[in-house]
Structure 1
Amino acid sequence: MRPNVIVFFTDQQRWDTVGSPLGITPNLDLMARRGTTFETACTTNPVCAPARAAMQTGMYPTNAGVFRNGVPLPTDAPTLGRLFGDAGYRTAYIGKWHLGTQDPVPRDEQAGYDYWLASNLLEFTSDAYRTVVYDGDGEPVFLPGYRPDALTDAAIRFITKADGPFMLFLSLIEPHHQNEHDDYPAPHVYRDTYAGAWLPPDLATLPGTAHQHAAGYYGQIKRVDECLGRLRDALVSLDLTDDTLLLYTSDHGSHFKTRNSEYKRSPHDGSVRVPLVVEGPGYRGGSRVSTPVSTVDVVPTLLDAAGIALPDHLDGVPLRESARDGVLIQVSESEVGRALRTDRWKYYVHAPSAGDVPAAETYVERALYDLDADPYELDNLIDSVNHQEIASELREQLMAEIARVEGQSATVTPYPETRDRGRFPETTVRRLNLDGRRLE
């Protein structure tokens, strides 16, 4: 029997919200104990549309044709909706899309999904307690309740009525901020619960908005986790747990304006590292995988689990087969950049004058972090003479990965101000920018 497939997809959720001292993800923690956790999962690009294009096609954003926000996914893209539909699955998309040209999303931009209940820009067609999405014919549908609850209810209704194997993509917007207010509206019951709560070291140390917004952000995640629990309970009630592959992940994280003037669009783990847990056939037993993986592996993972032949266009591999030395991350909008994330190192390059383009031919070294010694990336070693050998090795590895994935060669210029300088005292850490140097 072919398994059902569900993707539970959040927006802007940091990796370290899972298993944190706050205990805000008990349902995801339970899923991890029963399934497989990929502890070092990285997005393909830390901004919404490119990351979502990769999650639909299994291609890196530049190959999928969506390298930044505002670029729609090609209407003939080989999406999950089409790939599973062609294999005889009933397919559904519920929630935030952000890969179309407008709201309502036209039928030819719905990526081949049979059932559609979504908004292109959900943050503008709804708010925390007023969810408006559109059906496949473009008619508005009002869903009562707190937004993730409302969308999860719709997902459970679809599952209950599904006949035969189905593939459901549930795309929540929480814990993203509400754009027009620049606020993180938690459900009323959790509005003040996490005021003054624990912050990870980067958010506690660097200037940004975390002290202002973390309480709402955590409250949103607490409710999202409860939605995951209700969905899993529905699978139990319908006797579908043994026949369903459930995958939980996010499009990117959030650094709360500690690295630039935005919430993401930076190469740091706070921005690029996301939760990734899979439970179901082939992914049971509570195992944990520490090797870096990419969200470009999600599509081949789902197809593989369903017994669908993997098409040639895929840039990723099934997660159960992933054994990379490092993963490529593309950065756009804030600048044109590329990063390599290995077990120990984060290596980042950018093209200072490239403009609004998918890629560059020449990059310049900008950051190097030793993640064993500095897991929250507070000390940039790119200008340390003692780290030039590892920088050179990572430079070659990154250029090879760019050539493999993007099909074009690129050169990287070594950092121009290499010098031996050691670590900055703790009293100056708050005044470090992306480059890790003092802000004068």
Structure 2
Amino acid sequence: MPQGRPHPHVIVVLTDQQRWDTTGAGGNPLGLTPAFDRMARSGTLAEAAITPQPVCAPARAALQTGRHPTATGTFRNGIPLGAGNRTLAHHFGDAGYTTGYIGKWHLADGDPVPEAQRGGYRHWLGANTLEFTSDAYRTVLYDEDGDPVRLPGYRSDALFDAAVRFAADHHREPFFLFLSLIEPHHQNEVDSHPAPEGYAERYQGRWMPPDLAALSAHGGTAHRHMGGYLGQVRRVDEGLGRLLDALRSMDILDDTVVAFTSDHGSHFKTRNAEYKRSCHDGSLRVPLAVRGPGFEGGRVLTGPVSTMDLAPTLLDAAGVGVPQDMQGRSFLPRLRDPAAAPDAAAYSQISESECGRALRTARWKYYVADPDADPWNTPASARYTESALYDLEHDPYELDNLVGLTSHRAVADGLRERLLRRMAEAGEPPAEIVPAPARTRSQRRVDPTVHSLAVRGARFGHQPKGGR
């Protein structure tokens, strides 16, 4: 249990569709996120945080439960989180915390969200699909009685204001607050990223992620949308700074664990016909920083971390027991002993665009999919085919697919075995992975030690039993 309060306050700030490289800590050169970057410098930064599912509802189900989307039953959008799933609200509530939810939920049948579908949160000011109940300057949520509440101001400002009010109302008792924003998600009905006035103009044309710069010549919306997207990110960070200032003014900042992350990223229609639902880091990789008791010291998690691990980590940091059925693992032990997981890997499931599975190590991205499956109705397949292999050390923007190369066959074989183990640990039915058709490319080779490292890495991982 961390020093300080017997049970520190806990706040999660979740954005929607935010890439990791929109933050200074993630390499962005524009100074968009000074508040997040301060969190990362003084607290703990996960350099390679990976979502367990690059689409809203499954990612949110995993964040709430610490379980894989297929294990919760919410493996795609449109499937409510089943009542049998216990969430962070249940666990914190059982430990005596006052629990509150503000913002987008996306785990119910519709709006207003009935009490039975609110995941056990006691205080409620939310909307199931905030992108459809609101726009940039018209924020409509529903209260605990199901009545609509319109909040003044730009949408992310309005939600941060509500979070400050919640903290002020409950700061004398241990509380757990989940604040879920919609920014920097596009506004669906107009397919744009509505930033506050002047913000899009400030950033339009100033910077483009290298993967999008390379791929946008062949399509996508990045050049049209990047200014508004980055402007939204900037305004969100200003709200984060105001929230931290408010906690400081209430003299509870040092007694509060604050985590900031996103449900998934965005590739701006460069990898498929929409914004996410692909195996690439543009879809999978998100910002993740945590500050407060247990996370101080400017520490960095260098290997891949699944955001599904955030739920058990927060319970662990608060001194609340972590349930045995959580499939995520607290990363606090990795902070205490950085050598505990030198080759950790993150596992992701992909639905809706295709039925696929991805394994992301520090160096490699390995992806398989069932081309014959109905991705809307098939949570898991019995037969996958290798679809992608990327060497992230030499190709960090995933522009050169090495799948099937005879020079990389041993690497792919080692990753295949690791991925099959992760699928089994997730509770999925037995499956086979069919190797991609063999092909050669002159002068390509892999140092033989890479294969031994890939295989040996399967014995490390951050599960107590190993094999991840």
TM-score after normalising by structure 1: 0.95
The answer to whether 1:375 aligns with 2:422 is: no
Residue 29 of structure 1 and its aligned partner are, at CA, apart by 0.5
For residues 92 and 189 of structure 1, the distance between their equivalents in structure 2, rounded to whole angstroms, comes to 33
The answer to whether 1:192 aligns with 2:201 is: yes
With 344-353 and 383-392 compared, the bigger mean Cα shift is at 383-392
For residues 200 and 306 of structure 2, the distance between their equivalents in structure 1, rounded to whole angstroms, comes to 33
Residue type at the aligned position of 1:200: P
Instruction: Indicate the residue corresponding to 2:184 in structure 1.
Output: 175
The answer to whether 1:339 aligns with 2:358 is: yes
Residue 335 of structure 1 and its aligned partner are, at CA, apart by 0.3
TM-score after normalising by structure 2: 0.89
Instruction: Indicate the residue corresponding to 2:17 in structure 1.
Output: 12
Offset from partner CA, 1:114-155 (integer Å, 9 cap, x none): 110000000000000000000011000000100000000000
Contact 1:53 1:66 in 2 (8 A): yes
Contact 1:4 1:167 in 2 (8 A): yes
For residues 193 and 242 of structure 1, the distance between their equivalents in structure 2, rounded to whole angstroms, comes to 34
Instruction: Indicate the residue corresponding to 2:68 in structure 1.
Output: 60
The answer to whether 1:88 aligns with 2:71 is: no
Offset from partner CA, 1:191-237 (integer Å, 9 cap, x none): 31111111111110103110010000000000000000000000100
Offset from partner CA, 1:47-99 (integer Å, 9 cap, x none): 00000000100001000110000000012320111111111100000000000
Offset from partner CA, 1:248-268 (integer Å, 9 cap, x none): 000000000010001000010
1:159 to 167, 189, 207: 167
What SS is found at the alignment partner of 2:303? Answer: coil
Contact 1:383 1:420 in 2 (8 A): no
What SS is found at the alignment partner of 2:167? Answer: helix
For residues 443 and 367 of structure 2, the distance between their equivalents in structure 1, rounded to whole angstroms, comes to 19
Residue 189 of structure 1 and its aligned partner are, at CA, apart by 2.9
Instruction: Indicate the residue corresponding to 1:388 in structure 2.
Output: 409
The answer to whether 1:319 aligns with 2:338 is: no
The answer to whether 1:252 aligns with 2:267 is: no
Residue 419 of structure 1 and its aligned partner are, at CA, apart by 2.8
Instruction: Indicate the residue corresponding to 2:221 in structure 1.
Output: 209
What SS is found at the alignment partner of 1:13? Answer: coil
Contact 2:405 2:438 in 1 (8 A): no
What SS is found at the alignment partner of 2:14? Answer: strand
For residues 158 and 194 of structure 2, the distance between their equivalents in structure 1, rounded to whole angstroms, comes to 15
Q: Which runs of 5 or more residues in structure 1 are unaligned?
A: 424-440
Residue type at the aligned position of 2:362: D
Name the % identity. Answer: 59
The answer to whether 1:241 aligns with 2:246 is: no
For residues 421 and 155 of structure 1, the distance between their equivalents in structure 2, rounded to whole angstroms, comes to 57
**C-alpha RMSD of matched pairs (Å):** 1.1
Instruction: Indicate the residue corresponding to 1:365 in structure 2.
Output: 386
The answer to whether 1:116 aligns with 2:135 is: no
Residue type at the aligned position of 2:306: S
Residue type at the aligned position of 1:41: A
Q: Which runs of 5 or more residues in structure 2 are unaligned?
A: 1-5, 335-340, 445-468
Pairs aligned (count) = 423
What SS is found at the alignment partner of 1:396? Answer: helix
For residues 128 and 406 of structure 2, the distance between their equivalents in structure 1, rounded to whole angstroms, comes to 48
Residue type at the aligned position of 1:315: Q
Matching of residues 264-275 of structure 1 within 5 Å: 264-275=276-287
For residues 17 and 413 of structure 2, the distance between their equivalents in structure 1, rounded to whole angstroms, comes to 32
Describe the shift of the 1:138–1:414 C-alpha distance in structure 2 as closer, same or farther (beyond 3 A): same
